[in-house]
A = this chain, B = another copy of it.
Amino acid sequence: MRVDIGNALASVADPGVGGDALDRLDDRVARAHDRIAAGMADGEFGYAALDLPERTDAAAIESAVAPLADSEAVLTVGIGGSALGAATVSTALGPGEADHYVLDNVDPRDVAATIEALPLSETAVNVVSRSGTTAETLANFLVVREAMADAGVDWTDRTVVTTGESGPLRELVADHGLPALTVPAGVPGRFSALSAVGLVPAAIQGHDIEAVLAGAREARDGLAGSLSACPAYAYGAVAYALDARGAAVNAVMPYAERLEPFAEWFAQLWAESLGKDGLGQTPARALGATDQHSQLQLYRAGPRDKLVTLVRPRERPARPIPETDIPDLAYLGGTDLGELLDAEFEATEASLAAAGRPNVRVEIDRVGPRGVGDLLYSMEAACVLAGELYGVETFTQPAVEWGKRAARGLLGGGDFPEAEAVAEKERLVVE
């Protein structure tokens, strides 16, 4: 990953980071890196995620999914950290030998439509839940299993499970002899993309998942105790410093359709890791060039509370724009869609800088296996670094438990006082 923080400097932007402040920040980065390196060396909870590129066994994943290698489609059944990594990797790499679908919501109409469109007898079902009890995931899995039975397909022939060491899904694996992989211990879901959790669909699609890990390893080997030597830390440190100066929102705007799920993955990483104790920068997902026609007005002329993170590959496939005799459009003819997209990227970057709005350029070589491995790893390291600087518990997400208990109580899954609070809602209805 290559990071250009020039447009985040106080000489360009307000809020911006001054030269002296950057030097002081660098001391903190050095100390944070020592903490991170120690956590990695000791395999501490969370920090262990940054060693996944060394620990994940691509050959073991490939061998586990080998019985499903002829599938025409892969259906990932998971939610949050059990779905976003796989969606990010598989979308970045393209369909390969099988289209990838994701059931990460329990919308009855959408679930039915997704299942109906699938060739069930040729579909690999990739069910992912560490606990094996995630309500949305297990409900969807029960519905998919029933649909397979109704279609005369033996679901045990078509299912691969990624789960923890114990729990209902692990028991199902034992009962039916299913191919199975393990969610790595010590790694929160949102940091698990570079394990079986993120790589199983890509493996079934025939992608080179070892190259994904190689890209990540390269980024891992580049971790160093100075933001001027380490692009991942440069990004994390500058995002933190800008938030401290008022950039409470981080608008992440990839200029590549295949990186659209990356923005969603990043949003989870950033929000769940840093959003606690009243702190944390709010991620806003955007897409270039499309959102220039939607969000740019606000980014450029609204409150000075945003960092815009512009992400792009340095190389794109060719798609020439045909010549035209329409005078107003003649300048487009003979150029290329990628050239147009890159011109929009640079124009947006400059237009934000001209308005004094901080932005950071993030580049990868291309949207391929090495590039996506590099990008995911680097952003994880950036997030862990930012967590050290904020001084928060990066690897937990305690605030989501209340709602889980309330929902379970509402569905008759036990006595939970949270469910009673739902009935006591303050109402002021206008209709």
Interface residues in chain A, defined as those with a beta carbon under 8 Å from any beta carbon in chain B? 1-7, 9, 11-12, 79-81, 84, 104-112, 132-133, 135-136, 138-140, 142-143, 145-146, 167-168, 171-172, 190, 227-231, 234, 248-249, 255-258, 264, 267-268, 271-272, 274-280, 282-285, 287-290, 292-306, 316-319, 321-322, 324, 326-329, 331-333, 335-341, 343-344, 346-351, 353-355, 367, 397-400, 402-404, 406-408, 410-414, 418-419, 421-422, 425-431
Asked whether, in the complex, the Cβ of B332 is within 8 Å of the Cβ of A422, the reply is no
Residue from B4, B284, B431 in contact with A427 in the complex, judged by beta carbons closer than 8 Å: B4
For A133, list chain B residues within 8 Å (CB).
328-329
With both beta carbons as reference points, the residue of chain B lying nearest to A332 in the complex is identified as B139
A426 to B276, CA, bound (A): 34
- Tell me whether B302 and A400 are in contact (CB under 8 A): no
Q: Please, which residues of chain B bring their CB within 8 A of the CB of A7?
A: 425-426
Verify A4–B429 contact, CB threshold 8 A.
yes
Partner pick for A282 among B2, B3, B234, B249, CB 8 A cutoff: B249
Give the complex CA separation of A144 and B218 in angstroms: 40
Residue from the list B139, B275, B283, B406 in contact with A337, Cβ < 8 A: B139
Contact A139/B340 with A278-B304, A297-B276 known, Cβ cut-off 8 Å: yes
Which among B145, B295, B402 is the interface contact of A322 at CB below 8 angstroms? Answer: B145
**A-B CB proximity, top 5 nearest:** A80-B293, A275-B298, A108-B319, A331-B413, A275-B302
Identify 7 residue pairs between A and B in the complex whose beta-carbon atoms are under 8 Å apart, listed by A's number. A107-B337, A108-B337, A109-B319, A248-B305, A296-B399, A347-B422, A354-B418
Could you say which of B248, B275, B329 contacts A142, with CB atoms under 8 Å apart?
A: B329
In the complex, which residues of chain B have a beta carbon less than 8 angstroms from the beta carbon of A228? 430
Cβ-defined contact, B292 with A403, below 8 A: yes
- A369 CB → nearest B CB, Å: 15
CB-CB < 8 A to A304: which residues of B?
278
Chain B minimum-CB-distance residue to A321: B139
Could you say which of B234, B257, B274, B297 contacts A399, with CB atoms under 8 Å apart? B297
Min CB gap A182→B, angstroms: 19
Partner of A290, one of B80, B282, B324: B80
Given A249-B249, A350-B422, A301 and B109 touching (CB < 8 A)?
no
A431, B278: Cβ atoms closer than 8 Å: no
Taking a contact as CB atoms under 8 Å apart, the answer to whether B143 and A322 are in contact is yes
The answer for the CA separation of A294 and B398 in the assembled complex, in Å, is 12
- Contact at B348–A403, with CB atoms within 8 Å? yes
* Given A143-B319, A422-B346, also A257-B109 (CB < 8 A): yes
Distance between A156 CB and nearest chain B CB, rounded to angstroms: 15
Say yes or no: B316 contacts A294, CB within 8 Å: no
Candidate in A9, A255, A350 with the most chain B CB atoms within 10 angstroms: A350
Inter-chain contact B319/A231, CB cutoff 8 Å: no
Q: How distant is the Cα of A355 from the Cα of B411 in the complex, in angstroms?
A: 22
Tell whether, in the assembled complex, residue A5 and residue B109 are in contact, meaning their CB atoms are under 8 Å apart.
no
Using known A-B contacts A142-B321, A143-B322, A421-B354, determine if residue A431 contacts B3 with beta carbons closer than 8 Å.
yes
Q: Are A282 and B284 in contact (CB under 8 A)?
A: yes
Residues A302 and B279 in contact, CB atoms below 8 Å apart = yes
Query: Is the pair A344, B106 in contact by a Cβ cutoff of 8 Å?
Result: yes
B132, B316, B350, B403: the one within 8 Å of A421 (CB): B350
The reply to whether A257 and B110 contact each other, CB–CB distance below 8 Å, is yes
Q: Complex Cα distance A431/B228, Å? A: 9
Q: In the complex the two chains form, is B338's CB within 8 Å of A407's CB?
A: no
When C-beta atoms are compared, the residue in chain B nearest to A426 turns out to be: B6
Among A110, A351, A403: residue with most chain B CB under 10 A: A403
- Kindly state the separation between the CA atoms of A9 and B302 in the bound complex, as whole angstroms: 26
**Chain B residues within an 8 Å CB radius of A318:** 108
In the complex, the chain B residue whose C-beta lies closest to that of A305 is: B248
